[in-house]
């Protein structure tokens, strides 16, 4: 008797579960909501996501997952079902950090902190870097050296306003508004390089030092950080 009761309960549970999934399979998605860290998702993502409307919940969820996963603008995401007939996407969109200006085009390529090219524009208010080499296409990643140059430029911008930054001949060359012009390698330890530059600039500002800002024009100073012992040169 006990076994029959257990078997009945199991059978009932199985029937309920099957009925539940059959019911879900009949649900057609009528709306896809998309939110990012700023509020509403990029219009291109919204348009692509809307392609799953009219499909059953399982197929829509599967296709939507593929669409969002393959979109280079998306860094991470979460998809959830919202009663009665909607799917909600919460995602983190990639944000441009710097504008690259390659020599072969008149367009700026915007890259995020991971080095992925996420947009192409005519102009930008972001920090700009001119590059003397070919850059990848939208959705692709730049090479390791260029990424190092990007991150180093962003670090260097915390010291003073940069009026020009360029990657040429395997080096990063930065010109500050108040001087000097600094040349960095495209590899190494960023903290060490920036720390070394800060130390040099602080020494130049020390009144007890024979070479002070008051005595020399920083606009004519060149600092080469590519060597173990940085080289300083004043151009008269």
The span from the CA of 43 to the CA of 136, in Å, is 24
Task: Give 236's Cβ-side CA count (13 Å radius).
Answer: 1
Asked if the model's pLDDT at residue 15 lies above 50, the reply is no
First to last CA, the chain: 104
Contacts of 202 (CB under 8 A, 6+ apart): none
**CB of 157 within 8 A of CB of 193?**
no
pLDDT band at 234 (very low <50, low <70, confident <90, very high): confident
pLDDT band at 8 (very low <50, low <70, confident <90, very high): very low
The span from the CA of 121 to the CA of 139, in Å, is 14
pLDDT of residue 180: 92
The domains of the chain are located at 27-93, 98-234
pLDDT of residue 24: 57
**CB of 86 within 8 A of CB of 32?**
yes
**CB of 122 within 8 A of CB of 105?**
no
- CATH code of 27-93, in short, is 3.10.20
**CB of 204 within 8 A of CB of 218?**
yes
Q: Is 182 helix (H, G, I), strand (E, B) or coil?
A: strand
**CB of 107 within 8 A of CB of 127?**
no
Q: What angle do CA 74, 70, 107 make, to 5 degrees?
A: 65
> Could you tell me the fold of the domain covering 98-234?
Rossmann fold (3.40.50)
pLDDT of residue 218: 75
pLDDT of residue 47: 96
């Amino acid at each position: 008797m006990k076994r029959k009761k257990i078997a009945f309960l199991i059978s009932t549970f199985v029937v309920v579960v099957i009925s539940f999934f059959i019911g879900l399979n009949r649900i057609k998605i009528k709306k896809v909501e998309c939110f990012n860290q700023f509020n509403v998702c990029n219009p291109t993502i919204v348009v692509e996501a809307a392609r799953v409307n009219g499909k059953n919940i399982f197929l829509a969820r599967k296709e939507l997952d593929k669409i969002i996963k393959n979109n280079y603008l998306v860094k991470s995401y979460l998809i959830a079902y919202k009663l009665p007939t909607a799917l909600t996407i919460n995602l983190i969109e990639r944000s441009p950090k710097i504008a690259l200006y390659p020599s072969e085009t008149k367009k700026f390529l915007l890259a995020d902190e991971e080095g992925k090219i996420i947009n192409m524009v005519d102009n930008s208010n972001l920090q700009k870097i001119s590059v003397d080499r070919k850059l990848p296409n939208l959705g692709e990643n730049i090479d390791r050296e260029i990424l190092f140059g990007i991150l180093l430029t962003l670090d260097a911008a915390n010291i003073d306003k940069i009026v020009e930054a360029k990657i040429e001949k395997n080096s990063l060359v930065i010109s500050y508004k108040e001087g000097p012009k600094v040349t960095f390698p495209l590899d190494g330890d960023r903290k060490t390089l920036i720390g070394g530059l800060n130390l040099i600039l602080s020494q130049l500002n020390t009144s007890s030092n024979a070479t002070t800002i008051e005595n020399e024009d920083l606009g004519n100073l060149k600092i080469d950080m590519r060597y173990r012992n940085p080289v300083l040169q004043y151009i008269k």
